[in-house]
Structure 1
Amino acid sequence: MDKTLNKFVASYLWSDKVVHYSAWKRKLIDVLRLLYVVLDDLTKGELTLRAMSLVYTTLLSLVPMMAVSFSVLKAFGMHNKQLEPVMLQFLAPMGAQGVEITEKIIGFIDNVKIGVLGTFGVALLFYTAISLIQKIEATFNYIWRLDQHRSIGRRFADYGSVMLIGPLLVFSAIGLSASVLSGGVVQTLSSHLPFVQHLIAFATEAAPYLMIIAAFTFFYMFIPNTRVTFRAGFVAGVVSGILFQSLGWGFGSVVVSASGSGTYAIYSGFAILILFMMWMYISWLILLVGSSVAFYVQHPEYIAPVRRSGDLSIRQRETLALQVMAIIAQRHYQSRKPFSASDFVYRLRVQIQGVTRVLGALRAAGLVAEDHEDPPRYLPNVPLEKTSLKTVIDAVRNDGSVPMIALRVPRKPVHGVAEVTAAIDAALEEALASTTVRDMAIDDEEVAVDGGGVSAGVDRN
């Protein structure tokens, strides 16, 4: 059993008495459960370890990524100095040191001359920039329990569009909002209607917070290699935005302002670099915690004090395999769009690791096949009216089996075991061999066959 943060708190939050609470108390318990599992994941150390890894990758990739991104802005008449407000906003908790770091980063970008790098240099520059987003995706996929990553083509297409078009859209949005707020119509209305003036002042104050929340929401919806709902991304974006502003204020007040002691006294001239790395670590940790929040909001079946790894027993995998084959058969005979792995998760309300493992076992046994979509959808690979349920069960039971190691001295059999396993196989064969996947999944009364076509009378999904 997985270790839990606090057994007493877990037993209270997941008590059977919760169902008898009032509606607002149940909502509060749901929030506390979400907070508990996020803190539990945080204390296990994997998120902090990955945040440290991202800090190292960021130090290597920051300047190349920005050089690639803002080279596009120069083509539209923008200059790197226009990057300064965005960098200052991010490094605001570092105070005067943030201004110094911003100037140095912009100086590095100005010194990068993409035109004189040559083909190999430009390719290396793009690879270094894309490697950062690729590492972020791998971390997000770990949080979202995903085994499949984007293909090489999709990585270059998706990440390249983010690096080339993203900055242009951001600065266009900033310029558009500034021109709207300073436009003649808005100024005229504010002079005649006092509340418009207060509204403009509020919008000006709230703009940085809204931009941070929007940026976090975009990350949570775009980076994972799965479909993330807007609700999950937005909730995580709000949580991350609040954490970013709160911890930024705390970092600036407690760490950076202690100029006479602490970090400055220990590291002296290296203090700026150390503080920058510390703030980068906090920022990455906030991003990963928010991604964890988005995952649990979208997959509440994982909100449990233990066993969030998605491991299933043999019996659970057998049941899941039968359910998956039944759904594949139903959608096949009803001429409906096949399911992806995420669709099976939403339909069956099970954890994604169990679904991917069962699909892998069925695919290895040749019972199902993937199409060419990304992410792939699953189709029957055998005639379902001739495939017995015993074959499906055997595919799961044999998953991950390896041949026995050959020894010079033959093994001495254990008395009675062979007879028991043979009896189990014979019982399964007798019970399931005559029942096919189609027999299990489709009722003849619900399916009307007209000529060569099959039409469903009832949507069983």
Structure 2
Amino acid sequence: MDKTLNQFVANYLWSEKVADYSAPRRKLIHLLRYVYVVLDDLAKGELTLRAMSLVYTTLLSLVPMMAVSFSVLKAFGMHNKQLQPIMLQFLAPMGAQGVEITDKIIGFIDNVKIGVLGTFGVALLFYTAISLIQKVEATFNYIWRLDQHRSIGRRFADYGSVMLIGPLLVFSAIGLSASVLSGSFVQAISHQLPFMQYLITFATEAAPYLMIIAAFSFFYMFIPNTRVTVRAGLIAGVVSGFLFQSLGWGFGSVVVSASGSGTYAIYSGFAILILFMMWMYISWLILLVGSSVAFYVQHPEYVAPTRRSGDLSIKQREALALQIMGVIAERHYKSRKPFSASDFVLRLRVQIQGVTKVLRALKEAGLITENSEEPARYLPNAPLEKTSLKQVIDAVRSEGNASMLGLGTPRRPVHGVAAVTKAIDDALDAALAATSVRDMAIEDDGSALDGAEAGKNN
């Protein structure tokens, strides 16, 4: 995005005059802010690069993943030909070429005989299939500013259940909805009540769109390694579903016009592969844009022309570290459930990147630890009455500095710098060394903590 235009749009959308606008205009400005930050992410190019990478991974993983998934359906008496309607719906924008690609993919899946692959072959098949979802998770975690990924065990458990049970649930839902709509009871009611016929027709036509929205929403709530609210997932699912249908219609029009031109004849047999890769790229880009929408809906503090990098000054990190330790102490003494990183974000109204950096620094310093839950929750790792505020400050002041900057002994040190830094440390030590995290927490909410401790002693 051009810097001048970018600055003009940002100044307009975040102008102080917005507060004086009418309510409908303020809502429109609020919506345009979300559009701006998503388009700004696209303009930076990271999402497009990751979408291209996912296209390549898809070409390698599509058939193995579908073979693993639908091998379960065969055990329930379903045939791969029943995949055809879903594949055709996804590749509908490609027109006749979509039908040909669908037939080839189903043919490949039919030729995969899991029973004759052996242990190594089956393991390789599962790894190839899981690698695609793993790469999608890494991309979603990047969008959500998450440094911590799922553990290997949890990846196999989560991804394996999706690949094995997911298709069965999808086909069961499709079959159940078809049975309900065509059942004798529903048909009898539709004959008695004419408007029911219109309702059934609407439900039948709307079902594919609703399933697309449901699929997108499921991805947005399941794949990121954090808790995604239903509201954020559904809003992103609706946006992605609208983009998928709209861009699918536009892509289909381009394919139809290109089929009758000389361009299609030049590429000959390669045209189908090129069109398939183009549509896969558009589809992945839509999925990533929707994930970005879900992130901004859940974290509106990032919807701003600035403050979006998550970088904190040393002073901000110190204040945030004290806040986090205070919250941990408060919940520890009140015997309440520990907070996760997302809980700290909601409580302290700060960006997730800053929270994860401070939590990592406190953990490396041995002041806190995390439990085995997913997502992890944070507990004291040392007695809070023996943990001084100076230790908390030191943890975030020194975290990563030496390794990041590669500081060594200066060749010609400036005289007086060492004395100044020592004076700063001595002043902090004198002011904070005698005050523990428990003292800070009690001063903040003394009566509640005293009551909680009295309850523990009784």
TM-score band w.r.t. shorter chain? over 0.9
CA distance in 1, matches of 2:99, 2:449: 70
Give 3-state SS (helix, strand or coil) of 2:401's partner. Answer: coil
Structural mapping, 1:184-263, within 5 Å: 184-261=184-261, 263=263
Deviations 1:92-122 (A, max 9, x none): 0001110010011111111111111111111
1:337 paired with 2:337, answer: yes
Structure 2 equivalent of residue 459 of structure 1 = none
Residue of structure 2 equivalent to 1:458: none
For each residue in 1:423-442, what CA deviation from the matched residue of structure 2 results, as whole angstroms up to 9, or x when unmatched?
Answer: 22222222222222112112
Q: Does 1:37 align with 2:37?
A: yes
Alignment match, 1:58: 58
2:84 maps to what in 1?
84
Per the TM alignment, residue 291 of structure 1 is displaced from its structure 2 partner at its CA by 0.4
CA contact (8 A) 1:228 1:298 kept: yes
Equivalent residue letter for 2:17? K
Q: Could you report, residue by residue, the CA deviation over 1:143-166 in whole angstroms, capped at 9, with x for unpaired residues?
A: 011111111111111111111111
Distance 1:127 1:231, change over 3 A: same
After superposition, residues 378-457 of structure 1 pair within 5 angstroms as 378-402=378-402, 411-443=411-443, 444-449=446-451, 453-454=455-456
With over 3 angstroms needed to count, the CA separation of the structure-2 counterparts of 1:5 and 1:431, relative to structure 1, is farther
Please show how residues 67-216 of structure 1 align to structure 2 within 5 Å.
67-216=67-216
CA contact (8 A) 2:330 2:449 kept: no
Is the contact made by 1:335 and 1:454 (CA closer than 8 Å) also made in structure 2? no
CA–CA separation in structure 2 for the residues paired with 1:142 and 1:245: 26
Query: How is 1:232-311 mapped onto 2 (pairs within 5 angstroms)?
Result: 232-261=232-261, 263-311=263-311
The amino acid of 2:447's aligned partner reads E
Does the 8 Å CA contact 2:333/2:452 hold for their aligned counterparts? no
- How many angstroms does 1:33 deviate by? 0.4
Measure the CA separation in 1 of the matches of 2:263 and 2:366: 60
Q: Percent identity?
A: 82
Relative distance call for 1:406 and 1:38 in structure 2 (3 A) is closer
Structure 1 residues 4 and 68: CA distance shift in structure 2, 3 A: farther
Aligned residues: 452
| 1:101 counterpart letter in structure 2 | I
Do the aligned partners of 1:389 and 1:433 also contact (CA within 8 Å) in 2?
A: yes
TM-score scaled by length of structure 2: 0.95
Deviation by residue 1:385-414 (Cα, 9 ceiling, x = unmatched): 22221111111111112276667xx72220
Alignment partner of 1:98: what SS? helix
Could you tell me how far apart the structure 1 residues matched to 2:48 and 2:284 are?
Answer: 9
Structure 2: how far apart are the matches of 1:451 and 1:187?
A: 65
Q: Which amino acid aligns with 2:109?
A: I
Provide the TM-score with structure 1 as the length reference.
0.94
The residue that corresponds to 1:360 in the other structure is 360
Compare the two structures and name the one with the higher helix fraction.
2
CA contact (8 A) 2:64 2:126 kept: yes
| C-alpha contact (below 8 Å) 1:13/1:32 kept by paired residues | yes
- CA distance in 2 between partners of 1:335 and 1:145 (Å): 30
Q: Distance in 2 between matches of 1:382 and 1:4?
A: 52
Distance across 2 between alignment mates of 1:124 and 1:89: 29
Unaligned runs of 5+ in 1: 456-461
| 2:333 and 2:453 in contact (8 A); partners too | no
AA aligned to 1:415 is H
Q: Per-residue deviation at 1:20?
A: 2.9
| 163-172 vs 436-445, greater mean Cα deviation | 436-445
Separation (CA, whole Å) in 1 of partners of 2:452 and 2:185:
65
For 1:224, give the aligned amino acid: P
- SS of the residue corresponding to residue 308 of structure 2 reads coil
Q: Which 5+ residue runs of structure 2 have no aligned equivalent?
A: none
Deviation at 1:257, TM superposition (A): 3.0
Task: Give me the whole-angstrom Cα distance separating, in 1, the residues matched to 2:44 and 2:128.
Answer: 30
Q: What CA distance in whole angstroms lies between the structure 2 residues aligned with 1:159 and 1:124?
A: 15
Alpha-carbon shift at residue 450 of structure 1 (Å): 7.5
Q: For 1:451 and 1:49, how far apart are their aligned partners in 2?
A: 54
1:346 corresponds to 2:346: yes
The answer to whether the 8 A contact 1:4-1:306 is kept is no
Moved more, 66-75 or 411-420: 411-420
Following superposition, the deviation at residue 342 of structure 1 comes to: 1.2
Local SS of the residue matching 1:54: helix
